[in-house]
Amino acid sequence: MHPQTRLNLLMAMRGEAYTYARYLLFADQARACGRPDLAAVYEEAARAKRLEHFVALAALVGLPGDEVANLRLAIDAESFDVTAVYPALAAAALRYGDESAAALFTAIARDSRSHLAVFQAAVDTMALPAR
């Protein structure tokens, strides 16, 4: 597969995942406003985003992989979030005076650190070849 096509697939996956989550939030809000009919519409669209579109795109890029590959990808992603993404986002938010966003970014980094530890513990229980 051409590298640009792979990047495009990954970009499309991000979009589908974001839209899936957003539609579920819209469904919650519609239900809270007394519109279960509208909530059902959002939930059906969300289902298609996740179970049809995202799954088809993921299959083309080879996701999920085997247990080892999945754990390594999860560890890499959480490590990146903990060391680069969320600390940088928190620092930028503080520079702009957005304390609420900075606090949220910091809390998410803490959660990611916890996820990283769990994934690493799973690796430690398996006999995995060295990287």
Return the exposure string of 2-38: e unless at least 16 CB atoms fall within 10 Å of the residue's CB, then b.
eeeeeeebeebbeebbebbeebbebbeebbeeeeeee
Is the pLDDT reported for residue 130 higher than 90? Answer: no
Q: How far apart are CA 41 and CA 55, in angstroms?
A: 20
pLDDT category at 128 given cuts 50, 70, 90 is low
DSSP 8-state code for residue 97 = T
**Contact 73/65 with Cβ under 8 angstroms?**
yes
pLDDT digits (tens, 9 = 90+) for 83-117: 999 999 999 999 999 999 999 999 999 999 999 99
Give me the pLDDT at residue 57, please: 98
Is the pLDDT reported for residue 58 higher than 80? Answer: yes
Domain boundaries, the chain: 3-61, 67-124
